[in-house]
């Protein structure tokens, strides 16, 4: 398909002429160019007043909230939120088929959250316009659901977070769309293994850096990169909190895992460069070289002897 002329509007939707926006970037990209380009984004959807919202639902600006002091009650709430998020992820994963738009997946997730009495956490978080993030092919994370139909051979990361009973549950999986090539199947397999290596490193009394060490070692052994610009995070009453959970080893990270902590392990694994660029929408982060990336994520609870996965897939 012929690309835009130098004086045509840029494909990214910035309103600038192509020559003033992405022409130089595209010229430096791999010969095939980007696999994914922005499409139309529908207006932000609403949530019924009966659903208890997080602090940022109206303003887009999150505020810290008091921590639930009873550890047993807090863990129970986190389990409920995590289980609900995993159910929504499973539902939209089944729907990710050729010809389905990511906007349609967003509608499905939005309604699935509401059906469970939950608020879709990304909605209006710092102004994010949708209920989930959908990151296709070379999009690393924070892809905005839009009108682009999924195509046979795509891969798509589906990042689901919901707010239920005063806490957030967060999970992500990258799924194949129809039949994908062997390189993509291998990427998905290793990326999920990287997440589970990170989860397996969770132990009370150990440094958080153990997680990044385990993830990076497995990715490197298979020739893949690990994105360093984005990381996992504490989660619970707040969508994002301490500690930061790096997915590469950094000896300067001295946070220690403690019983009762809840956080995400969510490595982003790349076929090529671990560097990224962000689209003009301010959210969508893509690999700098245009090669594919995959992400998997669980919310976990540090237990007296190890770890409990709160967002395990429903049986």
Instruction: Convert the pLDDT of each residue in 228-251 to its tens digit.
Output: 999 999 999 999 999 999 999 999
> Is residue 41, in this structure, part of any structural domain at all?
no
Q: Which residues of 102-132 are buried (b: 16+ CB within 10 A; e: fewer)?
A: bbbbbbbbbebbbebebbbbbbbbeebbbbb
The phi and psi torsions of 268 (rounded to 5 degrees) equal -110, 115
pLDDT digits (tens, 9 = 90+) for 129-184: 999 999 999 999 999 999 999 999 999 999 999 999 999 999 999 999 999 999 99
Residue 1's pLDDT band, with cuts at 50, 70 and 90, is very low
Q: Please, which residues have CB within 8 angstroms of residue 238's CB and are 6 or more apart in sequence?
A: 62, 64, 65, 168
pLDDT in tens, 82-133: 999 999 999 999 999 999 999 999 999 999 999 999 999 999 999 999 999 9
> What DSSP state is assigned to residue 207?
B
- With 0-12 CB in 10 A as exposed, 13-18 as middle and 19+ as buried, what is 236? buried
Comparison of pLDDT for 252 and 197, the residue scoring more: 197
Q: What pLDDT score does 30 carry? A: 43
Q: Establish if 1 belongs to a structural domain.
A: no
Instruction: Please report the pLDDT score of residue 7 as a whole number.
Output: 77
Spatial distance between the Cα atoms of 147 and 242, rounded to a whole number of angstroms? 35
Question: Does residue 291 belong to any structural domain of this protein?
Answer: yes
Total domain count, the chain: 1
Contacts of 90 (CB under 8 A, 6+ apart): 313, 314
What pLDDT, on the 0 to 100 scale, is given for residue 32?
A: 41
| Residue 86 CB contacts under 8 Å (≥ 6 apart), including other chains | 169, 171, 311, 312, 313, 314
Whether 188 and 181 have beta carbons less than 8 Å apart is answered as: no
The alpha carbon dihedral of 33, 35, 39, 43 has a sign of negative
| pLDDT > 50? residue 259 | yes
54-90 tens-digit pLDDT: 999 999 999 999 999 999 999 999 999 999 999 999 9
**Inside any domain, residue 196:** yes
pLDDT for res 35? 78
Cα–chain center distance at 249: 21
Q: How high is the pLDDT of residue 29?
A: 46
């992400």: which residue's tokens? 295
Q: How far apart are the first and last CA of the chain?
A: 44
Residue 119 lies inside a defined structural domain of this protein: yes
Q: pLDDT tens digits for 8-55? A: 665 455 667 757 775 665 554 443 446 789 999 999 999 999 999 999
Query: Is position 281 within any domain?
Result: yes
CATH of the domain at 186: 3.90.230.10
**pLDDT at residue 177 in the model:** 98
pLDDT for the residue numbered 315: 87
The C-alpha atoms of residue 226 and residue 314 are separated, in whole angstroms, by 28
User: CB–CB of 135/105 below 8 Å?
Assistant: no
Q: For position 18, what pLDDT does the model report? A: 59
**DSSP code of residue 280:** T
Neighbours of 282 (CB within 10 A): 12
Q: Establish if 58 belongs to a structural domain.
A: no
CB 92 within 8 A of CB 109: yes
Decide if pLDDT at 307 tops 70.
yes
pLDDT at 5 over 90: no
Q: Which domain holds residue 288?
A: 71-309
Instruction: Say if residue 295's pLDDT is above 70.
Output: yes
Give the count of beta carbons closer than 10 Å to the beta carbon of residue 246. 24
Phi, psi of 85 (to 5 degrees): -60, -40
Query: Is 21 a domain residue?
Result: no
pLDDT at 21: 75
Which neighbouring-strand residues pair with 149? 101
Q: Is the dihedral of CA 252, 254, 257, 263 positive or negative?
A: negative
CB 158 within 8 A of CB 136: no
Task: Check: pTM over 0.85? Answer yes or no.
Answer: yes
């Amino acid at each position: 398909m012929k690309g835009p002329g130098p004086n045509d509007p840029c494909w990214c939707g910035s309103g600038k002429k192509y020559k003033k926006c992405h022409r130089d970037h595209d010229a430096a990209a791999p010969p095939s160019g980007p696999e994914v380009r922005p499409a139309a984004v529908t207006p932000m959807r609403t949530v019924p007043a009966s659903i208890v919202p997080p602090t940022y639902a109206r303003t887009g600006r999150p505020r810290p909230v008091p921590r639930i002091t009873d550890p047993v009650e807090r863990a129970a709430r986190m389990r409920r939120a995590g289980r609900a998020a995993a159910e929504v992820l499973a539902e939209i994963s089944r729907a990710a088929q050729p010809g389905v738009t990511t906007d349609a997946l967003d509608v499905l997730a939005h309604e699935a959250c509401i059906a469970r009495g939950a608020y879709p956490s990304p909605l209006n978080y710092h102004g994010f316009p949708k209920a989930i993030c959908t990151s296709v092919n070379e999009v690393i994370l924070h892809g905005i659901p839009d009108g682009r139909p999924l195509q046979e051979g795509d891969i798509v990361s589906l990042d689901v977070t919901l707010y239920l009973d005063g806490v957030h549950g967060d999970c992500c999986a990258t799924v194949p769309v129809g039949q994908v090539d062997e390189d993509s199947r291998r990427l998905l397999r290793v990326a999920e293994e990287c997440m589970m290596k990170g989860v397996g490193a969770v132990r009370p009394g150990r440094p958080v850096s153990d997680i990044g060490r385990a993830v990076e070692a497995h990715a490197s052994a298979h020739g893949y990169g690990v994105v360093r610009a984005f990381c996992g995070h504490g989660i619970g009453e707040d969508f994002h909190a301490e500690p930061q959970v790096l997915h590469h080893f950094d000896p300067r990270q001295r946070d220690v895992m403690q019983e009762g902590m809840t956080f995400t392990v969510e490595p982003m694994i790349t076929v090529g460069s671990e560097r990224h660029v962000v689209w003009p929408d301010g959210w969508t982060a893509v690999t700098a070289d245009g090669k594919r990336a995959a992400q998997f994520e669980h919310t976990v609870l540090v237990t007296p002897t190890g770890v409990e996965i709160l967002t395990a897939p429903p049986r």
